Structure 1
Amino acid sequence: MPGRRADARVRLHIPARLVLLTGTQQCFLEDLSVTGAALIPQDKLPAEGASAILQCEHIEAFGMVRWARHGRVGLMFDEKLPLAQVVSLRHIADSYEANERERNMERARAWVQGRSKIL
């Protein structure tokens, strides 16, 4: 299918930053390949064709917004990322998910025990 990414992706859902000419915004990195990424920005969607930098953990990738719709953004990198960086981010994502589950459980315990009013 034309326009589709041929490289394998890793599913992540970890915090990242998207740096644009209009400013920096927090986002979640949904998936990543050596050639691009899908992101969920916390603010408004950047314009298609905008230059951007994805920053997440040890990765800083320059690219262009290829699509922006339904609350998601597709970023195509100027240069391929090393596969080892993509794989290492998958391991970080696994740890992040486990830690986030534990934090949520602790928040729920604190709320049930009356130690906190916020979940």
Structure 2
Amino acid sequence: MNVVGAVIDRGGRILCAQRGPNGSLGGMWEFPGGKIENGESPREALIREIDEELRCEVVVGEEVTTTSHEYDFGVVTLTTFWCELVAGTPTLTEHAEVRWLAPTELDQLEWAPADVPAVAIIGSA
């Protein structure tokens, strides 16, 4: 499964989103995003997913990293991108909570395994 995640930077702080308590990886933290639909580019998917999940508009920038992780439900290939919030305020529609953290604070949260490599890259940048 190919998915995308948004590393949204606002004034040097990164948006972190906590998954709801029910479902796979419940309560873990992630960079918001989702599945790439047929016919979509990764950047198009990310713009759509952020609109759906957070009711915000982002500009998608450079890729952070692409990683794969094997979960019990299958292999997830996650591509994360730096993003800039250009319209709207993050509104919870699927997530339990969002936090804005400094890059050096990201490792304080329990991240979904596929997101961990991006967290390490951002935290050391």
Bucket of the pairwise TM-score, normalised by the shorter protein: under 0.3
Work out which structure has the larger RCO, using CA pairs closer than 8 Å and 6 or more positions apart in sequence. Answer: 2
TM-score, with structure 2 as normaliser = 0.24
TM-score, with structure 1 as normaliser = 0.24
